[in-house]
Amino acid sequence: MIRPNRRLFVLSAAALVAGCASKTATVSMGQPEPLGEFKLGHVIVVTKNAQKVDPSKDVSQREWDDALTQAIEQRFRPYSGNQLYHIAVNLLGYSVAVPGIPVLVAPKSVMMMDVTIWDNTKSLGADPTQGKLNKEPRRFTIFESASAGFVIGTGLTKSADEQVANMAANAAQQIEVWMRENPEWFASHS
């Protein structure tokens, strides 16, 4: 387990080198391919412990909560399986790119979060931890997508709202990729 100070150091380092690489998922946003019996129950987003890593634009807890909830809802609400699952996100830290010197210093936005998937039917028993599908939260480091502002830096070309929305959409996409790597979680209970 990474300690909080080390976690922020890792996030800071990632923010500085984010312009070098960006990993994106290849799952499309059209009609989703079924994900077993998955149907979205609740989206739980916790932002109260998120640490801002400077240099960063200010983003309120409410803005993070709204952006992440909306992106996850948009991505997963279309699934129409027969079993309810909940997605819990704990935002650990972020750096939303500020204006830099074009080409020389073009910082990119980055965020770090832990995610847990809960099976609603298994959480109804005496032991609520039975519904937790991943024993340890899955840690994600999410970067902005490459765009026209990639070389210049999105701190100059996008508002904080646009940057946060972009990272939230990328976060939802990465959660889906991870869930698809674990199809046994969404098998029928009958």
Would you tell me which CATH number, out of the four given (1.10.1060, 1.10.3470, 1.10.287, 3.40.50), belongs to the domain 4-17+36-183?
Answer: 3.40.50
- Condensed to tens digits (0 to 9), the pLDDT of residues 60-74 reads 999 999 999 999 999
Residues of the chain with pLDDT under 50: 1-2, 9, 13-28, 103, 149, 151-152, 155
So what's the pLDDT on residue 18?
42
Q: How far apart are CA 163 and CA 84, in angstroms?
A: 31
User: How far is C-alpha 187 from the chain's CA centre?
Assistant: 24
pTM here? Answer: 0.79
Looking at residue 139, its pLDDT comes to 98
Q: Give domain limits for the chain.
A: 4-17+36-183
Beta carbons within 8 Å of 74's beta carbon, 6+ residues apart? 169, 172
- 50 to 16, 59, 134: CA distances (angstroms): 19, 10, 22
- In DSSP terms, 142 is beta-bridged to 111
Amino acid at 60: S
Give the model confidence (pLDDT) of 99-131 as tens digits: 765 545 567 899 999 999 999 876 555 555 568
pLDDT at 22: 38
Q: What is the Cα 57 distance to its own chain's centre?
A: 18
For residues 5 and 163, give the distance between their C-alpha atoms in angstroms, rounded to a whole number.
25
Q: Please tell me the distance from the alpha carbon of residue 17 to that of residue 107, in angstroms, as a whole number.
A: 8
Residue 32 carries which side chain, given as an amino acid letter?
P
181: left (phi over 0), alpha (psi -120 to 50) or beta: alpha
